[in-house]
């Protein structure tokens, strides 16, 4: 698929201004009211999702960082559309991985309503449990999960595919709604955590979506606003 000719305002130059002091992939202790998930938790979750008889065709629907950093191996990739859910910065507040107590971050999740174009990954046949465990270790490290895995229907070309993805639980205390696009941009332009900045997260997501031919108008607006804010903060006196 040809790369889109649109040029992002938000570039690696902007991202370079926001660097974590202690970059690490280590999982920090869970926040109050949550606990670290265990191997038994992953086994029971996989059994509940996949059932006693494992299918040779299990798909994952990616809408955010899983697009540019898949958590596990896959044997096929294709784009697809989910209806009834939309991509939104509604998972907060992150003060560990991509934020701090002073400047907490907002992560992407699927929220109810609208539609979302994303990427489908088919897991290796016969190794679905192994792949799913890696996926859950990445996306469900703490319980209860504010965006638990669930099945959604995805339209991909002429195919209708049932896929697993992660959707926001609006009853979770980590659900954030009602923010203006300007307020979200303020967060994304300042939050930095142990695994990087929200600006890096936004840049990578938009860039990879554009590279595979998916244009998200909301994220496109955000990346321009975030670039403006970073320039105002770091380049105003140049």
Please report where in the chains the tokens 């309503």 appear, as a residue.
Answer: 113
> Other C-beta atoms within 10 Å of 22: how many?
7
| pLDDT > 70 in the chain, percent | 95
Query: CB-based contacts of 131: which residues, under 8 Å, 6+ apart?
Result: 58, 72, 73, 74, 123, 124
- Enter the tokens of residue 62: 């990616």
pLDDT 10s digits, 37-68: 999 999 999 999 999 888 889 999 999 999 99
Per-residue pLDDT tens over the stretch 148-158:
999 999 999 99
Residue-wise over 47-57: b if at least 16 C-beta within 10 A, else e? eebeeeeeeee
End-to-end CA distance of the chain: 39
For 171-202, what is each residue's pLDDT tens digit? 999 999 999 999 999 999 999 998 899 999 99
Phi/psi for 54 (5° steps) reads: -75, 130
Catalytic positions, written as ranges: 139
Burial of 108 (0-12, 13-18, 19+ CB in 10 A): buried
Which pLDDT value is given to residue 31?
A: 79
More confident residue, 238 or 189: 189
Under 8 Å between Cβ of 180 and 221: no
Beta carbons within 10 angstroms of residue 3's beta carbon:
10
Residue 188: Cβ within 10 Å count: 27
What would the mean pLDDT of 201-212 be, rounded to a whole number? 97
H or E stretch covering 229: helix 217-234
**DSSP classification of residue 105:** E
Report the C-alpha gap between 121 and 65 in whole angstroms: 13
């Amino acid at each position: 698929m040809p790369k889109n000719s649109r040029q992002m305002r938000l570039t690696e130059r902007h991202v370079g201004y926001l660097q974590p002091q202690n970059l690490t992939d280590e999982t920090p202790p869970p926040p109050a009211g949550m606990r670290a998930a265990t191997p038994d938790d992953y086994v029971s979750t996989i059994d509940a999702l996949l059932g006693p008889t494992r299918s040779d065709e299990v798909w994952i629907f990616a809408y955010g960082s899983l697009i540019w950093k898949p958590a596990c191996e896959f044997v096929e990739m294709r784009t697809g559309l989910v209806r009834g859910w939309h991509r939104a910065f509604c998972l907060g507040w992150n003060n560990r991985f991509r934020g701090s107590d002073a400047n907490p971050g907002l992560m992407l999740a699927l929220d109810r309503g609208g539609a979302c174009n994303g990427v489908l990954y088919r897991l290796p046949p016969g190794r679905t449990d192994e792949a799913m465990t890696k996926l859950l270790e990445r996306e469900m490290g703490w319980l209860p999960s504010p965006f638990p895995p669930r099945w959604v229907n995805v339209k991909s070309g002429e195919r209708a595919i049932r896929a697993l993805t992660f959707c926001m639980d609006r009853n979770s205390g980590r659900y954030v709604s009602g923010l203006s696009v300007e307020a979200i941009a303020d967060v994304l332009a300042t939050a930095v955590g142990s695994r990087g900045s929200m600006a890096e997260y936004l840049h990578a997501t938009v860039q990879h979506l554009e590279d595979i031919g998916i244009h998200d108008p909301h994220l496109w607006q955000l990346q321009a606003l975030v670039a403006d804010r970073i320039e105002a903060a770091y380049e105003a006196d140049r």
